[in-house]
Structure 1
């Protein structure tokens, strides 16, 4: 929270606008819904009631006192009181209308993520029912109390609240919450036996850090390739905000970009590090990229936390399968099968599978794709989204009796590939 207090008023307003644009791009709100707030010294900024979060102007962002009202209070969000109390202990707060989270709230009293990101960064997310679930005094009382012990919560039938020391971390938590909710919702819709997924053991992951914006290369073409990839990963929803990683080999080093998934408003913060291939890092994702260049001839690698990839991989894993077999023409042409491997598999074996199949899915954790250029590897993970989206919906169609046997559409070569 202290670090956010040191940034300028203009900078914090710019970040609020960027979060609003990014929330709209991901469908986390409609044109006029949701709220964004950020503490600034003894005051805080909050979006004006009825403002279009994807097209915020300076006049749509109001400065309000944390302890006492200010002149802009009457224009501020209808949930200003709730934000005011949250910002007494946090640096930023977001309210969104994540559809997956709302759907989960009809069925569950809490969200227990099955995926690695949700398990680490969110743990268990309460779902709270209110008699009046929009701007009510009971919400203003109970939501801040809940968020003192949780990074996020969901108002039943309404949507999530998240918070964090910075706007970036609050938005990161929101996108991870939406991601975890999507995975759980679709797995339940597919009839997946969730108890069979409890055996999955995930590696320790690094704590969230805001990227520094430092670039360890002056190669403009390479920087542009990294930035294009970061944008595509975000807007194609291949990984939640500030997750995923991209690297290219450079001799006995690699150029490595963590927290890859980035929208336009935060692109200047993207970081590119120069990391030697030896010694092995303590960071799991850096270790994985290092292993790619130690055990294969690949020149580029990408790791994303594809939601559709995770839905399909976790479903197949629960059925005892070790691969995803495409059912569509393009997916079948490029990838007769895509290997699955436990998230606790040795790195050498993960790289071996990625070499064999062009990419490998670690159920609940993510997907590694390798190749010769950043453009080559993002092609793989973007193709995976379409492959798994179609397989998931075909399965639902079969369960509804709209397709008799989806197996007839699966690539016949894929079973033995």
Structure 2
């Protein structure tokens, strides 16, 4: 195991633990994957996050074979298929966060109630139709729901958030949960007003440089440290 791979495995483990600390997951119901080498690394099935060691993280190939005796998450199919279908995404985070899962039970997508929905890539967060967990049918539904998006709900199941890094995918999962909570708080008063496609398009452009420091500023900080 190279230093690079070990660091990625440790980041994956810490992010699994962070899901529970952040309150967006319970127990081992969630899972995380990240692109690496000629395949991907994925959290194992059934091992408590606080017991995870780098050797427990499973290295999988695109043909579904994997190294070692530790079994991968039962949801490896949608992790694999998302990463194969979307070269722009390198990490996938799956949670059963409470409010987003509640919306998934209702079969509702999240509309553009807040501009931050653009972080998921568009003007909505779709809800993929129900399929049994761990199946190819579910993977197919998820890949379709993620077209042009970085996050989706899964009916009667939970949430998927994907991004360029584990950290960004995890942050997006938190954002989806907060959007779901806001939407559910609005619904007792009726369907909330939503931002227009044009307004979301403006946000998408703005997000391309949002939160980024200039190279000159970063160099200045480096020299001052």
Mapped to 2, the partners of 1:26 and 1:215 lie a distance apart of 33
Specify whether residues 148 and 66 from structure 1 end up closer, same or farther in structure 2 by C-alpha distance, changes over 3 A only.
farther
Mapped to 2, the partners of 1:9 and 1:210 lie a distance apart of 27
1:70 to 66, 69, 74: 66
Aligned to 2:128: 128
Mapped to 1, the partners of 2:137 and 2:32 lie a distance apart of 20
1:10 matched to 2:30? The reply is no
Mapped to 1, the partners of 2:212 and 2:165 lie a distance apart of 9
1:206 matched to 2:207? The reply is yes
1:43 to 24, 30, 39: 39
The answer to whether the Cα contact below 8 Å between 1:21 and 1:55 also exists between their aligned partners in 2 is: no
Aligned to 2:168: 169
Q: CA deviation at 1:85?
A: 1.4
Q: CA deviation at 1:10?
A: 1.9
Find the residue that maps to 2:78 and give its secondary structure: helix
The answer to whether the Cα contact below 8 Å between 2:120 and 2:149 also exists between their aligned partners in 1 is: no
Matches within 5 A, 1:179-258: 179-189=178-188, 191=189, 194-195=192-193, 198=195, 204=203, 205-207=206-208, 216=221
Mapped to 1, the partners of 2:75 and 2:69 lie a distance apart of 11
Specify whether residues 59 and 74 from structure 1 end up closer, same or farther in structure 2 by C-alpha distance, changes over 3 A only.
closer
The answer to whether the Cα contact below 8 Å between 1:44 and 1:65 also exists between their aligned partners in 2 is: yes
The CA deviation string for residues 118-173 of structure 1, in whole angstroms up to 9 with x for no partner, is: 145443111122242x2123113322233243211111121011212221221122
The CA deviation string for residues 203-233 of structure 1, in whole angstroms up to 9 with x for no partner, is: 744336789997828999xxxxxxxxxxxxx
Q: What TM-score results when the alignment is normalised by the length of structure 2?
A: 0.79
Q: What TM-score results when the alignment is normalised by the length of structure 1?
A: 0.45
Unaligned runs of 5+ in 1: 1-6, 221-417
Mapped to 2, the partners of 1:54 and 1:125 lie a distance apart of 31
Root mean square deviation, CA, Å: 3.1
* Structure showing greater Rg: 1
Find the residue that maps to 1:141 and give its secondary structure: helix
Specify whether residues 214 and 24 from structure 1 end up closer, same or farther in structure 2 by C-alpha distance, changes over 3 A only.
farther
Aligned to 1:97: 96
Matches within 5 A, 1:77-88: 77-88=73-84
Specify whether residues 214 and 79 from structure 1 end up closer, same or farther in structure 2 by C-alpha distance, changes over 3 A only.
farther
Specify whether residues 128 and 168 from structure 1 end up closer, same or farther in structure 2 by C-alpha distance, changes over 3 A only.
same
The CA deviation string for residues 317-374 of structure 1, in whole angstroms up to 9 with x for no partner, is: xxxxxxxxxxxxxxxxxxxxxxxxxxxxxxxxxxxxxxxxxxxxxxxxxxxxxxxxxx
Aligned to 2:53: 57
Aligned positions, number:
211
Mapped to 2, the partners of 1:209 and 1:188 lie a distance apart of 31
Mapped to 1, the partners of 2:142 and 2:207 lie a distance apart of 28
Find the residue that maps to 1:44 and give its secondary structure: strand
